[in-house]
Amino acid sequence: MNAASHQRVPWLRALAVWGIFILVESVHGTARTLWLEPRVGIEVAGRIGFAVGTALCVVIPLLFARWLGARTTRQCLLVGALWLVATLAFEVALGRFVRGYSWGRIADEYRVDRGALMPYGLLVLALMPWIAARVRGLR
């Protein structure tokens, strides 16, 4: 393997792992809405959902770190950036075009000054390829 191919970012594998992540998170979000919110309320369910969602952001990259193939810090951070942008696009599209939320309602999900936790989850997701590679001894 030459140096140029060794430095390539594994984009297709990164998208595949992101697809698994978004599928698992979608099931998690649906379960939270259907079963948890009616029992504990939207705010508490949101906090619990954040903890579970963050755990999923940690576990999924750890499970797929070897297969993903991102080894260098640069590769890992680029994969993390892809996951962040793809998740943000997915969440905005879902909110706007499926749920019919206003732009203001969508923006509120990212307002840390109003207690929103989504930016923290996105930060964890973006850093997880790098963290997973280090934990798994791949870099």
Q: Whole-prediction pTM value?
A: 0.89
Phi-psi region of 101 (alpha: psi -120 to 50; beta: other; left: phi over 0): beta
The pLDDT assigned to 6 comes to 59
Tell me if 38 sits within 8 A of 17, measured CB to CB: no
The pLDDT assigned to 15 comes to 97
Q: Which segments of the chain have a pLDDT < 70? A: 1-6, 139
Tokens (6 digits) for 116: 């929103």
Phi first, then psi: give them for residue 101, nearest 5 degrees.
-70, 150
The pLDDT assigned to 7 comes to 74
DSSP string, 63-125: HHHHHH---SHHHHHHHHHHHHHHHHHHHHHIIIIIS---HHHHHHTT-GGGT--HHHHHHHH
Tell me if 73 sits within 8 A of 66, measured CB to CB: no
The pLDDT assigned to 138 comes to 78
The pLDDT assigned to 2 comes to 43
Half-sphere exposure of 54 (CA within 13 A, CB side): 13
The pLDDT assigned to 94 comes to 95
